[in-house]
Amino acid sequence: MLDDFFVRALVAGTGVALIAGPLGCFIVWRRMAYFGDTLSHAALLGVALAFLFEVNITLAVFAVSTCISLALVVLQRKASLSADAILGLLSHTALALGLVALAFMTWIRFDLLGLLFGDILAVSHTDIITIWVGALIILAILAYIWRPLFASTVSPEIAKAEGINPMQVNIAFMLLLSATIAIAMKIVGVLLITALLIIPAATARRVATTPERMAIIAAFIGMFAVFGGLYGSLSWDTPAGPSIVVAAFAFFMISLSPIANLVKVSHNTNREEE
């Protein structure tokens, strides 16, 4: 019989995987892995501000991630720097500011390793409600903007010709990503969020034949990684958050096998016959 804390961890991790998979697909398509890393590093600054002003951590992380996203948009327009240079500047500055701020708050006791690598086994019923309500809202918005977001991902010029405003769609995507990171932070920590976003999507890309299938497969791979990582953590007494990421990477390695390639070829053959 599984303990109550383990069941809560499974339910919470499943909720995070449901949103991380589809959003991660757009990160892979747009080659924005470093952007996700930047927002995850900014989460630590959000935690520091939450402690300082005594506000909800999830809301503080979302607010800081949103500010970082908007700062990226502004700097891309005004600064004569490449996107990766701007992301590096924002990422490391936010992470350093968060660590410095936490160091100054000597009156607060906090688990730095828990913030960096998550503590999914400590999620409460309130956390689960927050995760699932947030996940359903994010999925609903993503489904609503799926077509314009995908169009602007493939070609901003074609999207403009179709009457789509790529800037507005990109900002909406950044806000969804910020919300996801704020929700997922307690599950896998600020240093492993990007892995949960990218690895299932990269795995799904190996076997999926359409963008929609890739998003669905990525969500399921994320869920399987949560189950596999948590059961592995329980069996071998390893950290839960990193174990989930390792399980996700194991699925990616499986996707590189000849069997996975045969499955994709079979799907393509069936589509051509239809």
Q: What is the pLDDT of residue 103?
A: 82
Positive or negative torsion for Cα 203, 204, 209, 211: negative
For residue 55, what are the CA distances in angstroms to 94, 104, 192, 227, 249?
Answer: 19, 18, 24, 32, 35
> Which range has the top average pLDDT, 25-34, 45-54, 220-229?
220-229
Q: What is the pLDDT of residues 242-259, one digit of tens each?
A: 999 999 999 999 988 876
CATH number at 4-193: 1.10.3470.10
Q: Give 67-125 pLDDT, tens digit per residue.
A: 998 888 788 777 677 777 888 888 889 888 988 888 888 777 767 777 778 888 888 88
Can you list the alpha helix ranges (DSSP code H) found in the chain?
A: 4-30, 33-53, 57-78, 83-104, 112-117, 125-154, 156-161, 166-188, 193-207, 211-236, 240-255, 258-273
Structure confidence at residue 76 (pLDDT)? 75
Which of 148, 156, 255 has the alpha carbon at shortest distance from 199? Answer: 255
Say if residues 199 and 244 touch (Cβ distance below 8 Å): no
140 pLDDT above the threshold of 60: yes
Low-confidence winner among 16-20, 47-51, 263-267 (lowest mean pLDDT) = 263-267
- How many CB atoms sit inside 10 A of residue 163's CB? 7
Other Cβ atoms less than 10 A from the Cβ of 260: the count is: 17
- pTM for the model stands at 0.89
Whether the per-residue pLDDT at 133 is higher than 90: the answer is yes
Query: Domain ranges in the chain?
Result: 4-193
Task: Identify which of 36, 15, 66 has the alpha carbon closest to the alpha carbon of residue 198.
Answer: 36
